[in-house]
């Protein structure tokens, strides 16, 4: 089974993409450094496991050079992640408290993460593994239109 995550926005609030009907959120690109960066584009084997911080079944993205323990899990913003991939139903804006100034601010986010993640896990059925292709969105050229 193959699945594709297409990244479409690299922002100060994180990296956002589409994975089938779901929105994804990842950490900003920081040279693939463990626990603080999204992973490079490419194809990776994902294996069923448990997200121990949340205590629920999920999949781990394996084969990322220099990285381990990259999970797919519930997350709204990049602050909910440690180099992992979060799923949401839609892209939207959340009001959050800025860590530095402690003032309310707005941040791009993957919304309704619990619902999205649960629906995605249901769609995975009994699968024990799959291949995830992570690509960057490329708008069609005029010749292709």
Structure tokens at 111: 């919304």
pLDDT digits 0-9 by tens, 82-133:
999 999 999 999 998 877 888 888 999 999 999 999 999 999 999 999 999 9
List, in sequence order, every residue forming a beta bridge with 24; answer none if it has no partner: 17, 87
pLDDT at 99: 77
Within 13 A of 136's CA, how many CA atoms are on the CB side?
9
- Domain annotation covers residue 132: yes
- Domain annotation covers residue 141: no
- Domain annotation covers residue 64: yes
- Domain annotation covers residue 142: no
Q: What's the number of domains the chain is made of?
A: 1
- Report which DSSP code applies to 68: -
* Domain that includes residue 32, residue range: 2-136
Compute the distance between CA of residue 28 and CA of residue 87 in angstroms, rounded to an integer: 16
- Domain annotation covers residue 85: yes
- Domain annotation covers residue 9: yes
pLDDT digits 0-9 by tens, 4-17:
999 999 999 999 99
- Domain annotation covers residue 57: yes
Longest CA–CA span in the chain (Å) reads 49
pLDDT at 145: 60
């Amino acid at each position: 089974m193959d699945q594709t995550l297409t990244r479409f926005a690299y922002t100060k609030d994180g990296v956002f993409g589409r994975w089938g009907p779901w929105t994804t959120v990842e950490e900003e690109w920081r040279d693939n450094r463990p626990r603080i960066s999204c992973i490079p584009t490419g194809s990776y084997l994902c294996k069923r496991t448990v997200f121990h911080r949340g205590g629920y079944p999920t999949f781990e993205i394996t084969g990322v050079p220099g990285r381990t323990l990259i999970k797919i899990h519930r997350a709204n913003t990049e602050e909910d992640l440690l180099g992992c991939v979060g799923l949401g139903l839609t892209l939207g804006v959340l009001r959050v408290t800025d860590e530095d100034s402690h003032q309310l601010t707005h941040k791009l986010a993957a919304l309704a993460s619990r619902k999205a993640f649960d629906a995605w896990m249901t769609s995975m059925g009994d699968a024990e593994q799959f291949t995830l292709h992570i690509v960057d969105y490329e708008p069609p050229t005029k010749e292709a239109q």
